[in-house]
Structure 1
Amino acid sequence: MSIRKRPIPGIGQPCSVIVLGGVPLGTRLDERQSMRLMDFYADAGGNMVDTAEVYGNWVPGKTNASEIVIGKWMKSRGNRDRMLVTTKGGHPDLGSMNVSRLHAADIRADAEGSLRRLQADVIDLYWLHRDDRSIPVSELLGSLGRLVEDGLIRSFGCSNWETDRIAEANRLASEQGLPLLAANQAWWSLASLNTAHVEDPTVVVLDEAMYRYHAETGLPLFAYSSLAKGLFAKMEAAARTGMPFEAPPLYDLPSNASRFEQARRIATERGVSISQVALSYIYSRRFPAFAVVGATDESQLADSLGAGDLMLDDEALALLDNGQFSE
């Protein structure tokens, strides 16, 4: 099993195209289970666990649980130099999602707290978890730039930002000789998304404008919810057994039935799982793209990691995209 890696500006080592999602670590999974899963990922060549200051805060007694268990794992394994330490801050408090936490003091406090919990000397890639359009981009760049100057972080990116704000940030940074955004995180998968059923108005779903921006600039893109909660694997299991399948409202669109059939055909031709096709759909791009995967056991993770060197050609991507995103 090998995992393809791709570079990210400002970071000393390339990143695995399959990134382990940190939401279940320390929350759905206890410490022993979490460490076992991370061992499995690292042994396969993976080197980024996607976490955030807020992961665990919705579970009583589990505040910051994901960062804490990742920090314990790196410390006990002595593998800090092999892992890319990355986390996200600036998320609103869960009880007041309409109140921004993106002023300089909030950002610094979150970064300093993450460093302590991750037991790291520096964060390789620090993400602002949300945006606040009432705060000028220049102010946010200044807050992040000072974290770089003070040695808390090496580089920074954004998560759930709209395309115009990303473009403005990198334009201003270029004009002023400041560090650019190193990467962007957005909600993206092979499955079409029924945005009318997206409950959190602060998340950003990849659209054509954002895709074109990444394709034109080469800005690395990280796709979260990259397997659409296992949608296509569930569809395949239902088709194999002849059982009826009802897609959840979030993914209940005719286009997903068509994408399923195309993905199933490609999977059969390549001798791989349909989930592996769905992940390869993300990272088989001409610009650096990465798929963040959730897993709660080694069998799930092994299937995802099996996609780590599978590349789809432009023809396969065009069939899956149905003209939406392919170049």
Structure 2
Amino acid sequence: MKTIQIKGLDKPVTTLIQGSDYFKPNVYEKVCQVLDRYVAIGGNTIDTAHIYCGGESEVAIGMWLKERNNRDDIVILTKGAHHDQNGPRVNADAIRQDLFESLERLGTDYIDLYALHRDDPEVPVSEIIDALNEQIKAGRIKAIGGSNWTTERIQAANEYADANGLTGFSFNSPNLSLAKANEPFWKGCVSSDSEDLHWHEQTQLPLLSWSSQARGFFTGRFTPEDRSNQDLVRVFYSDANWDRLKRAEQLAEQKSVTAIQIALAYVLNQSFPTCALIGAQNEHELLSCLEGSSILLTKEETAWLENGSFAKKH
């Protein structure tokens, strides 16, 4: 499996990252099947979060890490400081509390990739970077990033870090997919637009995309007339996205692959380092993702998939 490098880590990060938002100890057998298959095809990075399944996702991963005795081989991406019923909680106390709870659940003394699950623009980036660097210096975090942060806030955070000899964000984890979101999945979520992609091209900051395959939009199971999946209708149903699906199907036929594999390849063939968070739950889905991750697309093909026109050559 292909890999990228993220500043702060001595381990490579595989371009397919296994999601775990359904992991729980009461389905531990399935957790083991999913993770064992994923590792068997060369994957090494697991995505989780402090809030997933009320913390049970991290607990189940911790059980697997202990049983397999493979912590040093695995890259853990977890997220904290998500808002609660009282509102935003992106502050030093919340970061410390969530991090310590995640470490205990996972049964480890460090997190490879730690992302803030949401942002609070009311909090100065200086306070956030200072809080995260305290944990980096203590050895509890290797690399930091933002999930659902704007590139403007990441830029500001990194400028503050650079000016003060601190560690800045070394990755970004928004939604990026061939299907463009009409509105946020959930309040506070961020989907990358063309300006964001240009910023990533200029900075070469790695992007780890959640919902990289647009929640199944490209599987062929959905049509404009089928409005049974309200979330998919709300977020992805648009004339422009149906056109993107048609183009993905055309290119898939040319390359003897599937449209959803083309959609995955779109994410992994950007002009900067990218990874795709995947939700594969069985061997068929996992192998489909593996095959999709090996598809090479030209810059012209990715531009055509997105816009229906070819990128200009410089």
TM range (shorter): over 0.9
Q: CA shift at 1:206, angstroms?
A: 1.0
- Matches of 2:291 and 2:104, distance apart in 1: 33
SS in 1 for 2:220: helix
- Does the aligned pair in 1 maintain the 2:181–2:235 contact within 8 Å? yes
The letter of the residue matching 1:230 is G
Letter in 2 for 1:107: I
Work out whether residues 2 and 14 of structure 2, in 8 Å CA contact, stay in contact via their aligned partners in 1.
yes
1:166 aligns with 2:154: yes
Task: Write the letter of the residue equivalent to 2:259.
Answer: I
Equivalence for 1:92: 83
Question: Which residue matches 1:135?
Answer: 123
- Which of 298, 304, 309 is residue 319 of structure 1 equivalent to? 304
Q: Would you say the 8 A contact 1:22–1:294 is kept in 2?
A: yes
Q: Tell me if 1:78 matches 2:69.
A: yes
Q: 2:200 aligns with which of 194, 214, 229?
A: 214
Distance 1:325 1:305 in 2: 27
Instruction: Give TM-score, length-normalised by structure 2.
Output: 0.92
Q: Distance between the aligned counterparts of 1:78 and 1:230, measured in 2?
A: 34
SS at match of 1:19: strand
SS state at 1:86 partner: strand
* Contact 2:300 2:310 survives alignment (8 Å): no
Tell me, yes or no, if the aligned pair for 2:24 and 2:53 is still in contact at 8 Å.
yes
Q: In structure 2, how many angstroms separate the alpha carbons of the residues matched to 1:50 and 1:326?
A: 33
Given candidates 229, 245, 270, the residue that maps to 1:285 is 270
The 8 Å contact of residues 163 and 209 in structure 1, kept in 2 or not, is answered as no
Secondary structure of the residue aligned to 1:307 is: helix
Alpha-carbon offset, residue 227 of structure 1: 1.1
Query: 1:324 and 1:16, CA in 2 relative to 1: closer, same or farther beyond 3 A?
Result: farther
Question: 1:305 deviation in Å?
Answer: 2.0
Deviations 1:114-164 (A, max 9, x none): 111111121111111111111110000000000001111111111111121
**Shift of the alpha carbon at 1:218?**
0.4
Cα gap change, 1:275/1:200 in structure 2, threshold over 3 Å: closer, same or farther? same
Query: CA–CA distance in 1 between the matches of 2:291 and 2:46?
Result: 17
Q: In 2, distance between residues paired with 1:290 and 1:37?
A: 19
For 1:203, give the aligned amino acid: C
- The one of 42, 51, 55 equivalent to 2:39 is 42
Residues 189-228 of structure 1: pairs in structure 2 closer than 5 A? 189-195=177-183, 198=184, 200-228=186-214
- Compute the displacement of 1:276 (Å): 1.2
The range that moved more, 130-139 or 262-271, is 262-271
Which sections of structure 1, spanning at least 5 residues, go unmatched?
A: 58-63
Q: Does 1:249 align with 2:234?
A: yes
Query: Aligned equivalents of 1:172 and 1:33: distance in 2?
Result: 43
Contact 1:121 1:152 in 2 (8 A): yes
Q: Paired residue for 1:117, among 105, 111, 121?
A: 105
Which is worse superposed, 255-264 or 293-302? Answer: 293-302
Taking structure 1 as reference, are residues 289 and 307 closer, same or farther at Cα in structure 2, changes over 3 Å only?
A: same
Question: Distance between the aligned counterparts of 2:170 and 2:237, measured in 1?
Answer: 34
In structure 2, the CA distance between the partners of 1:53 and 1:40, relative to structure 1 (3 Å rule), is same
Q: Residue type matched to 1:35 in 2?
A: C
Maintained 8 Å contact 1:190/1:320: yes
Residue 326 and residue 207 in structure 1: after superposition, are their counterparts in 2 closer, same or farther (change >3 A)?
Answer: farther
Give the whole-Å Cα distance in 2 for the aligned partners of 1:308 and 1:207. Answer: 22
Question: Residues 255 and 279 of structure 1: is their aligned pair in 2 closer, same or farther, counting only changes over 3 Å?
Answer: same
Pairwise CA RMSD:
2.1
Q: How many residues are matched? A: 308
Whether 2:57 is the aligned partner of 1:66: answer yes
Q: Does 2:128 match 1:149?
A: no
Larger relative contact order, structure 1 or 2 (CA cutoff 8 Å, min sep 6): 1
**How many Å separate the matches in 1 of 2:100 and 2:135?**
10
Q: Hey, what's the Cα distance between the residues in 2 that align with 1:131 and 1:39?
A: 33
Matched residue, 1:60: none
Distance 1:19 1:199, change over 3 A: closer
Contact 1:155 / 1:181 at 8 angstroms: preserved in 2? yes
Structure-2 separation of matches of 1:273 and 1:26: 31
CA distance in 1: counterparts of 2:238 and 2:111, whole angstroms: 39
**Structure 2 CA distance, aligned partners of 1:306 and 1:208?**
27
